[in-house]
Each structure stands twice: as C-alpha cells, then as structure tokens.
Structure 1
Amino acid sequence: MEHIHTSNMSEYQFYEFAAIDRPLTSREMEKLRAVSTRGIITPYSFTNHYHWGALKADPQDWMKRYFDAHVYLADWGQCTFSLKLPKSSFSKEDIDPFKNRASLFATSTNTHWIIDWLASDEPFDDDRYAEDDGTGWLQRLIPIRDELMAGDMRSLYLGWLAAGHSMKKFVLEPELPPGMKEMSPAQKALAKFLEIDPDLIEAAAVNSARIPTQTRTDTHDMNVWLDGWTVPDMHNILQLLVTDQSQKAISLARNRYLTWLRQQRPMVSSYTSRRTVGELRELAKSASAARLAREEQERRQHETRQRQKRHAELRRMMNNENRYWKNADQEASRGCASGYDQALRILSELSEGNALVSSPEVFRKKLRHFLAVHGKRPALVRRLKDAGLPVD
C-alpha cells in the first residue's frame, strides 16, 4: 500500500497511537521522544497535534514496530484509522474482497496484518474539521480489533462501503456479513468516522442475516477453551505474569481465546446474491426517501403533541383567567421595564387562551378595561403594539 499520510504543511494535524499487545520499552519511548519533543508518550500511547507541521516519521513504520492502533486527522479532509492484528486473524482470501483504492487498505508483515480505513474527502465537510480535533476517536474504535480477531467482518464491509461514491457502478460488493442491521457501538463509530451515508448503510444492510443468539454462556465457552490448554502453554503465561510482563500475558491469552472463539463460531453467511455499486446507490435513494417520509411523519406527530400540550396548558390557565388578569395588572403597576415585560407575557398568553376557548373579541374587550387603567404608560403600550396585541 502506498504511504497514506502526507507531510504537507497544514493548519492542523492530529496523531494518536496505542500499544495493545505489549507496552513500549524505555528504549522505544526514547526513540519516539527523539522524533517529537512535544508528544505525550506513555508505555501504551503516543499523542500529538501539529499546527503548520507534521510528524517527522512514517506512521506505517511506527505501526509495524511499536503500535497496534492509530488515528490520524488533518483539517484538509483526511482521516485514517489503522489496526495491526496477528496474521492468524484471517487469510488474504478473507480480506482481499473488501480492499479498494479509496477507503480500505491492507498490508502484511511476517506476523501481522495492518489495515487502514480512510475517510473520503469527497464531498469535503468543512464543518467537521472545524469541530473535530481527532481526540476520543481511537478509544471508540479500538474494540474493532477484538471484533475482527473473533471473525466479525462488518468493519471491513464498512471500509469497502465507504468508497461507494467513487467506485464504478458495475463493481460487485463483497460477501455481505451478518449483523449489519445491528452494528456494535465501535462499528457505528467507524461508520461515523468514515462519514458513510447512513442511507447507503441501511440499503446495504437490507439482506444481512441476523447474528444467531448464543445458546451457551461466555463462561461455558471459556471453560471449554481452558480445558484445551497444555501445561507448557499455561507455564508460559504464568512466567510472563510473574516477570512483570502482565500486559503481554493478557494479550497472548486474549488473542488466543479470540482465535479459538472464531474457530468455534463459523461466520454466518447472509445467503444473498452480491449486488453492484449501482444497485446499492439506487437502494440508498429509496432508503433516503423512506427516511425523509418517516422524519416528516415524526415531525408532524411531534408538532401535534406539542400543540396538544400547549392547548392543555392554556385551558388550565383559562380556568383561572381572572387571576392572570390580576397578575398582569400588578406587573404593569410596577411601572418599570421588567414589570412591563412580564405584563406583556401574561397578556400574550391570555390572548392565545381566549382565542382557544372563547374568541379574540372577548379578549379585546377585557384588554380595553386593562388599558383604561394602564393606557397612559407609553412604554407598556408600545410593547403591546409591537407584539401585535389589539391596542385601539
């Protein structure tokens, strides 16, 4: 894969890396510090942002040597999410159908896959980069790593789908993973990070099978898995734990469990014919029309509920109408701006209430009586006129 980051100067660039399978050594942290004097470096992470500058290192090289996850954001419209996974997580044949030249890349080392998801910059969303500084994304997206290692390919399908606007319409989609209608929180975050059209996701998910409900508990699964451990394997994990390498022990055990779990739960196929990009676009148009119709119906229902609520409030007020006229009189009698404002508010509600339960003429007559007392207060009368109340 070509180097996906750029060293061009920009007003803002954000880099965050995470080490998951093992912590960085002191020597490795020194090497990172030699590259960046301002970066926040811990045994498990590197974070930095740049104004009119860039990281003086290749993020792909850092992923190969140090880290397992990475987020990059630049305000010219480029966003990248990268993961490094053990090569045993899946085969080349598994991942190749999802790769494309726009939004999903995969390279391999002798031991790992490095997968890169790229957000499209077409159309460029200037508002996003004015508000999004990149922080918080990595923690939301990291769970995708465990999902992939457990055989969940939905994030790869999302990576392919993110290029839907740029692919030829006759291109066939990869096999549709199950569960696209009920994506995980991390997968939903990925769809948002990549700015995939929600209508396109809904259209693609139509034929996606549901993920079968597990009939066995996770505890039962884990007990079966543990029964398969050999004594040397257990000794290796225990040695790591007692030699201050607990993170490595945890990662080895978790990765081994996820690999075993994937083998026990073969991926369910959606059993549907593969669609072309053009067909998905047409389905997305239909999904968009249906969504707009739903939103319009919801808007009308909301307006009806709000109107009914308002009418109920006005009817309760009109049951004590005389008290409200008295309150308006008291506020006007204060002879100050705040009193006039309160009087206007009360009179406006009385006007609305009379229109609902009696008639505007009834309110007009009562307002004349009110003005017989307060009509020589020009600031108050001006407020009433400006509000459109019937001041004769």
Structure 2
Amino acid sequence: MERFYDAHLYVANWGTHHVMFRLPSDLLAPDVVEDYCVGHRVATWVKGESVVLDFASEDEAGEFDFDYDPGSLLSAIVGVRAELAAGDLRALYLAWLAAYGAWERDEDAFAPEADDEVEPPIPPGLRTLTAAQRALADFLRLDEDLLVTAAQVSPSLDEAADDPDDLARWVALRPAAEKDRFLVRVAQGEAVRVRTELLRRFRGDTVPAALAPGRRTVADLLDNAACRRTDRERHLAAQRAEEEARQEEARSRARERRLDRLEEEGDAAWSRVDALIATRKPAEYDAAVILLTDLQALAERGDRDDRFVSRVSALRQAHGRKPSFIERLDRAGI
C-alpha cells in the first residue's frame, strides 16, 4: 500500500474486515483525516506524498461466512477513494461511526470515558449515500439505526452546494501568480486535481456556520440510536399484531361461512366422511379428519355435542381395524 497499490480489501471467516486506500496527501490532507481516527479501527499514516487510510471492523461473535468474494466487495467499495479525493468526507465519517458502533456488539470495545468523545465534522449528504458509501457502511457493519440517527443533522447536498457567484468572487481575489500556477497545471493534464484543490480551499474559506451543526458525543449517538431501534421494533411489533389480528378475523369469518354451508348440507356431510374413509388412502383419511373437525365445531356451535360424540364413537367402532385412520382421529382430538 505504501509503495504500489491504491486500494486493498481483506476479509477473514472469523469476522475481520479491512479496507485500505492510498491517496495523494495534497488531495486528502492528513490533518483532516486525523479528526476521524479511532484507534486501530480508523487509522491513517503518511508515506512520502501519500496518505494511507485503514478502516477495520471485527465481529468474532457473528456467524462465519465462507461465501465472501473479496473482488466484488472491493469493486463495490473502491469508488469512495475517488469521492475522498474530490473532497467528499462522508466515507471518513461512516468509518468513524461504524468504529464506535462496535460498542453495541462488544461492551469491552472502548473504555467508559469514550462516552464523552465528540464526533468529528459532520459532512453533508449522510441521508443520501452513494452506492460505494452504502457498500462501505455495510462492509464495516454500520448499524442502520445509528446511521439514521447521525444523519439527522447532516445538511443535504443541495444545501451544501457551491454558489457560483461566491465561487467567482473567491477566485477573483486569488493572487495572479497563484492562478497562473493553477492554469499551468491544468495545461499539463492536472485539471481534476486542480479543481479538487480549488474547491476544497474555497469551501474551507466560505462554508457558512449554518452548515456546521453542533457536535454530539458518542454517548448521545448510541443512546439515541438505541431509542430509535426500540421505537422501530415496537412499531413493527404493533404492525405485526394488527396484521395477525386481521388475518385471524378473516380466518374466523371464513370458518363461520364454511360451517354455515356445512350445516345446510346436513347428513350429507357425514356421508362424505364415510366415502372418504372407504377409499383407504392416507390423503383421503386426512380430508375426512378435516371434515370431522368442522363437524365438531358445528356441533359445539349448535350445542349438539352429544350427537357428535355418538356418531364419532360409531365411526371408531366401524373402522377400528384402520389404525392409520384411528391414529389421525387421536391426533386431532376427535
């Protein structure tokens, strides 16, 4: 990484995830990255004219997954390198957030005083991640409730968009010699890098205070995420209960309609039971027991239990040499 490669990804089936990036330090300033470092989970160092980033996630308690394709994972994530080079710091914030999110899986991940750590600068656009940033968040096991909680104060990208008039005024105030150097670099094929440097400097000089929301502590973020998770789970449980109640009511109505039709059928239903049993086929035995279950419910509804018991006793006696059928009656409680 220090000498040759721009990106590296590593996974192990015991729960270790690592992804690393190398960028020119004039495109991603090391002192900017330092704000987002969290021990070995988000680490950085400078080698020559490059800055190396190392994002790590551990989950030894999780289930082993032997189906990882590191190549496809890196392809999905590597786009964040270009985004970082262009001044988009969302990937750094996601890595910082995922690092402290590990505390919810491992209570020994940090010392108690880490509760008071204050979050780094909050980049805009956390509510609308790119595909690469989404893949990075998943790879680092960033909890969705924690991400939504953190993103609540992140300004939208539209709000953070550069004002062309402000940019023009800022450029006009640059020294002529500085602008000449930039133009020479553009002519030499460094247009993308020059644009990135200019925009980073412009934003650093002109970003209004309104786009710099108040910082929260790690404890604030984790506690609010836990509350959101509890509320969400309670809401989902209430929805499931309502849906189960609706389904039970629908089943009850369907059962009552079925019993009404069975009552109109009268003794013909018992004739159907005899016909099904006479086939000596297991599937027909099952159908006979289902029909008898409905007849039992109909007898209970009409307060005719004695008559039902008498007719079932006669069935048992008549078909006592059919153990498979008798066993089905026993299992059904008939």
Which amino acid is the alignment partner of residue 295 of structure 1?
L
Deviation (angstroms), 1:292: 2.6
For 1:304, the equivalent position in structure 2 comes to 245
Rate the CA distance shift 1:160–1:372 in 2: closer, same or farther, 3 A: same
Decide which of 11, 32, 45 is 1:107's aligned counterpart.
45
For 1:384, the equivalent position in structure 2 comes to 329
Deviation (angstroms), 1:99: 1.3
Deviation (angstroms), 1:91: 1.9
Contact persistence 1:72–1:134 (CA under 8 A):
no
For 2:128, the equivalent position in structure 1 comes to 182
Matched, 1:338 2:283: yes
Deviations 1:74-124 (A, max 9, x none): 233321012233444332232221112131122334454332210034xx2
Which amino acid is the alignment partner of residue 28 of structure 2?
F
Query: Normalized against structure 2, the TM-score is what?
Result: 0.69
Rate the CA distance shift 1:90–1:327 in 2: closer, same or farther, 3 A: farther
Decide which of 11, 32, 49 is 1:94's aligned counterpart.
32
For 1:201, the equivalent position in structure 2 comes to 147
Deviations 1:47-79 (A, max 9, x none): xxxxxxxxxxxxx35xx41x3332211233321
Q: Give aligned-pair identity as a percent.
A: 26
**Higher-Rg member (1/2):** 2
Separation of aligned partners in 2, 1:87 and 1:361: 87
Secondary structure (helix, strand or coil) at the match of 1:208 reads coil
Separation of aligned partners in 1, 2:301 and 2:283: 29
Question: Structure 2: which 5+ runs fail to align?
Answer: 104-109, 163-182
Rate the CA distance shift 1:365–1:89 in 2: closer, same or farther, 3 A: farther
Which amino acid is the alignment partner of residue 155 of structure 2?
A
Separation of aligned partners in 2, 1:366 and 1:279: 66
Which amino acid is the alignment partner of residue 10 of structure 2?
Y
For 1:31, the equivalent position in structure 2 comes to none
Deviation (angstroms), 1:149: 3.2
User: How many corresponding residue pairs?
Assistant: 294
Decide which of 276, 281, 284 is 2:222's aligned counterpart.
281
Secondary structure (helix, strand or coil) at the match of 1:212 reads coil
C-alpha RMSD of the superposition: 4.2
**Structure with the higher helix share, 1 or 2:** 2
Which amino acid is the alignment partner of residue 144 of structure 1?
V
Deviations 1:5-60 (A, max 9, x none): xxxxxxxxxxxxxxxxxxxxxxxxxxxxxxxxxxxxxxxxxxxxxxxxxxxxxxx3
Separation of aligned partners in 1, 2:198 and 2:274: 79
Rate the CA distance shift 1:231–1:87 in 2: closer, same or farther, 3 A: closer
Question: Structure 1: which 5+ runs fail to align?
Answer: 1-59, 217-229, 238-251
Which amino acid is the alignment partner of residue 72 of structure 1?
Y
Contact persistence 1:317–1:353 (CA under 8 A):
no
Separation of aligned partners in 2, 1:119 and 1:174: 19
Which amino acid is the alignment partner of residue 208 of structure 1?
S
Decide which of 13, 22, 26 is 1:84's aligned counterpart.
22
For 1:156, the equivalent position in structure 2 comes to 92
Separation of aligned partners in 1, 2:198 and 2:310: 84
Deviation (angstroms), 1:285: 2.9
Query: Normalized against structure 1, the TM-score is what?
Result: 0.60
Deviation (angstroms), 1:176: 1.6
